[in-house]
């Protein structure tokens, strides 16, 4: 069995990528080999990696279509290695929506795909009004208003809990010892 970790991200504004880079650095520090890929550039054989991690962000209630396609196209290979999946969204900034049992997007994703990742996690993402095109800005402000979040900030607000990211890295590296 391979002992190289594969990390794949589906990220639009870069926060999921940043989380994956932190995981990459975490494994590096532990002298564990890992490789990082944008989902669009992943051209390797899944069997080269064990475990394989996939992280994806939410936009308007959904993970990117490429994530569903990736799972659909690779389900047989995914079932043969240890796998981890995490979702990044802003709903997860709320205490009562930030676990695998309570985050609606993660729950929905697991219902929609045949994949049963061995490890799951949810991370809160980043809110950056200034970087959004006007229509997106209006929509996100509306969503934030409805969910009692910040509706006005010139500076980006990063809700990601980096300790939680490190703990996820640790859980993943522990699966290597178990192999």
Ligand X SMILES: Cc1cc2nc3c(=O)[nH]c(=O)nc-3n(C[C@H](O)[C@H](O)[C@H](O)COP(=O)(O)O)c2cc1C
Dist CA 178 CA 34 (whole Å): 17
- Residues of span 14-53 touching ligand X by CB under 6 A: 14-16
Contact between 136 and ligand X per CB under 6 A:
yes
* 165 burial type by CB count under 10 A (0-12 exposed, 13-18 middle, 19+ buried): buried
**CB-wise, 71 or 127, nearer to ligand X?**
127
Dist CA 9 CA 170 (whole Å): 18
DSSP secondary structure letter of residue 133:
-
| Cβ density class 50-71: b for 16+ within 10 Å, e for less | bbbbbbbbbeeeebbeebbebb
- Residues of span 148-167 touching ligand X by CB under 6 A: none
Dist CA 26 CA 6 (whole Å): 13
- Residues of span 82-111 touching ligand X by CB under 6 A: 88-91
Contact between 61 and ligand X per CB under 6 A:
yes
**CB-wise, 46 or 56, nearer to ligand X?**
56
Q: Tell me how many residues contact ligand X (CB under 6 A).
A: 20
- Given 23, 39, 71, 140, the residue binding ligand X (CB under 6 A): 140
Q: Smallest gap, in angstroms, from Cβ of residue 168 to ligand X?
A: 16
Which residues are at the interface with ligand X (CB under 6 A)? 11-16, 57-61, 88-91, 125-126, 132, 136, 140
């Amino acid at each position: 069995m391979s002992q190289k970790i594969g990390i794949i991200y589906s990220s639009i504004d870069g926060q999921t990528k940043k989380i994956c880079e932190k995981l990459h650095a975490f494994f590096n520090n532990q002298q564990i080999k890992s490789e990082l890929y944008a989902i669009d550039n992943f051209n390797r054989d899944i069997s080269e990696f064990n475990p394989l991690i996939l992280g994806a962000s939410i936009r308007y209630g959904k993970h990117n279509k490429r994530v569903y396609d990736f799972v659909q196209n690779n389900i047989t290979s995914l079932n043969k290695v240890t796998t981890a999946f995490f979702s990044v969204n802003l709903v997860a900034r709320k205490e009562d929506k930030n676990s695998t049992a309570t985050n609606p997007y993660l729950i929905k994703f697991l219902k929609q795909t045949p994949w049963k990742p061995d490890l799951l996690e949810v991370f809160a993402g980043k809110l950056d009004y200034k970087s959004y095109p006007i229509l997106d800005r209006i929509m996100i402000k509306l969503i934030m208003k409805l969910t009692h979040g910040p509706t006005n900030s010139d500076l980006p607000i990063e809700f990601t809990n980096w300790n939680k990211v490190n703990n996820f890295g640790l859980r993943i590296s522990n699966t290597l010892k178990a192999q």
